[in-house]
Chains A and B, each alone.
Chain A
Amino acid sequence: MTTSTSAPVTAPTKSAVAARTKGLRKEYGSTVAVDRVDLEVPEGAVLGMLGPNGSGKTTTIRMLLGLVRPTQGEIELLGKPLPDGAEHALPHVGALVEGPGFHPFLSGRENLVRCAAFEPLLPKKQIKQAVEDALERVGLAQAAHRRYRGYSLGMKQRLGLAAALLVPRKLVVLDEPTNGLDPAGTREIRKIIAELHGAGSTVLVSSHLLSEVEATCTHVAVLHRGTVVAQGELTELLQAGGSALQVITPDVETALSALRQAKISARPLGDGLRVELAGTSAPQVIETLVKAGAQVFEATRWKTGLEELFARLTEAEEAERGMSAVDTLDGGSR
């Protein structure tokens, strides 16, 4: 992981955490949208928030921004408690939440000017320049005079991003920023995230596109059913999740029962088995298999991508195994 040592020296904060939640819970009527969320966004990190649809990503983000009042729990944003400290913390936070929201009858530029009028950190004289810069940065300068009504999904998304970047921010929160963008647009978003990271800003990106997160993030938090099931540095999580062995064997049944007896978790996969290396090692697994009389043709160390880790953490059918994997991960990442 790369820490942003190039970060400009800011006022000394109590902790190196840009945002933190403790025991966050939100109920809508009888539905619990988010429960026991303890999230930490380290300063200078690019934290990818992953989770299937409805896992509570957006609700968590809305609570982080003071848009929604938590039913329970505490939030700290840039060292200020929310919601009381919102007025002091939020000027330093740029956000694109739940898709871009603009007035259809105004042009892109006019919409940004209206946003800029409400930015406490932006002096009146700089509004014009800030708007042009933001438009340029997201590649909308050519279409800025057109009405928002006629924008394509990708252009709308870019305008939303421009609004978040009107002022230099300490924290930028992007909820599904690549929604509706073509591959070129996606690359540009990545570039912008990298620039922000380079400039020392903290970035919180929520996404269900895993490749996205893998490509841009230093940290990951995985949400599932309204709670954080794993978080930490991306590389550490991947390493911890990478301890699996793929075994090619014709004797799947024999192998499975032998492993089960040895209390090693495994499941059939393709031409053989996938064996978790949690609490065991590759030689032990192979020894167990050979002793049980299963023919081992091939054993390969599983190369885990984020996708696999994610699937393991969030697949509903494997809740039990998923949870035990989380425990291991948590142990590994702390």
Chain B
Amino acid sequence: MITRQFASEVRWMLRRPRTLIGLFGLILVPIIISFGIWTAGEGEGGPGLAAILQGNGMVVPIFTLFLSLNLLLPLVASIWAADGLAGEAQHGTLRGLLVAPVSRVRLLFVKLFGLAAMSLLAVTLMAVVGIIAGTAFLGTDGMVTLTGTTLSTGEGLLRIGLFILLVTFQMVSIGAVALAVSATTEHPLVVQAATMTTIIVFQVLGQFSSLDWLHPFLITTGFPGLVDVMRDPIPPDQIWSSTLLAGCYLLIGTGLAAMRLITKDS
């Protein structure tokens, strides 16, 4: 029964015009980045990842996801979370599901599953298009790391796979918090606005060194550390702490959403 509900949820999300448009928009990002780096030519590399992009197409997916994680991916996650509960409430379809009946806790898991499945799809799609576009525009000879070593193509793909999972997890955690907001309202836009405002405010707060004590609690603080997958060998500390932090957000978000949903009048 639950697999059938999961399947229905994913099918429903994929049928939404805005999902398709969103996914299309997302795969444009790695293409544009590849094209941009290609036209910029030699010697224009910036700091960090951008510096090793030239002639290193396999880094494009990592760079793309890293850039998108700051704004684009949280936005997409918030849209899906908003449609999941607030949107269903707005259309009156939430009532239908509850009367079917789907228990409220199960409904939350169905929504969380849909969010996770779609996030994984979106991130993987961006990465795959990134590999293709990066290789096509910039060429590749294995993967040059931030440490300066060169990984084989197979090793490089593994790194990309790991990064996909890490980024998806961050995205789902943000989505879980957005679901908690989504459970409180009938207006999907409120959910998106609240989520995006939070992400932006977190990033602004992250800029002030006087707020050092706060930084370990902001999910956005963990984003840059994920790039460590591009070092050789991988230093695990920052990746662990970022993922752990996201895990806390996931648990808190899910918990709050469940609490709200269980007592919600609809």
Contact = CB atoms under 8 A, between A and B. Distances in A.
B95 A101 contact: yes
B117 interface: no
Contacts of B97: 118
Given A87-B101, A117-B5, A120-B1, A101 B92 contact: yes
A69 B263 contact: yes
A100 B91 CA distance: 9
A95 B266 CA distance: 14
A117 B94 CA distance: 14
A102 B7 contact: no
Contacts of B265: 62, 67-69
Contacts of A115: 96, 100
B91 A101 contact: yes
Contacts of A213: none
A66 interface: yes
B8 A117 contact: yes
B4 A124 contact: yes
Interface string A148-166: 0000000000000001000
A103 B91 contact: yes
Contacts of B96: 101-102, 115, 118, 163
A325 interface: no
B92 A95 contact: no
Contact of A67 (B12, B98, B263): B98
Contact of A114 (B12, B17, B98): B12
B103 interface: yes
Contact of A106 (B15, B94, B101): B15
Interface string A118-133: 1110001000000000
Contact of B101 (A99, A113, A120): A120
B120 interface: no
Interface in B71-99: 91-99
B110 to A, nearest CB: 9
Contacts of A86: 101, 103
A67 B266 contact: yes
A267 to B, nearest CB: 42
Interface in A52-72: 62, 65-69
Contacts of A110: 15
Contact of A118 (B16, B100, B263): B100
A171 to B, nearest CB: 11
Residue of A91, A110, A114, A118 with highest tally of chain B CB at under 10 A: A118
A86 B104 CA distance: 11
B166 interface: no
A47 interface: no
Interface in A76-94: 86-87, 90-91, 93
B101 A91 contact: yes
Contacts of B92: 98-102
Given A67-B265, A67-B266, A98-B95, A90 B100 contact: yes
Contact of A105 (B8, B16, B98, B100): B16
Residue of A69, A91, A113, A117 with highest tally of chain B CB at under 10 A: A117
Nearest to A113: B8
Contacts of A101: 91-96
A66 B264 CA distance: 10
Contacts of B7: 117
Interface in A159-203: 163
B102 interface: yes
A103 B93 contact: yes
Contacts of B94: 101
B95 A97 contact: yes
B4 A68 contact: no
A332 interface: no
Contacts of B11: 114
A105 B14 CA distance: 11
Contacts of B263: 69
A114 B263 CA distance: 25
Contacts of B95: 67, 97-98, 101
B99 A105 contact: no
A104 interface: yes
A274 B136 CA distance: 92
Interface of A: 62, 65-69, 86-87, 90-91, 93, 95, 97-106, 110, 113-115, 117-120, 124, 163
15 contacts: A62-B265, A67-B99, A86-B101, A87-B101, A97-B99, A100-B92, A101-B95, A106-B15, A114-B12, A115-B96, A115-B100, A117-B5, A119-B100, A120-B101, A163-B96
Given A105-B17, A114-B12, A118-B100, 20 more contacts: A66-B99, A67-B99, A67-B265, A69-B263, A86-B103, A87-B101, A87-B103, A90-B99, A95-B99, A98-B92, A101-B94, A102-B96, A103-B91, A106-B12, A114-B8, A117-B4, A118-B8, A119-B100, A120-B100, A163-B96
Interface of B: 1, 4-5, 7-8, 11-12, 15-17, 91-103, 263, 265-266
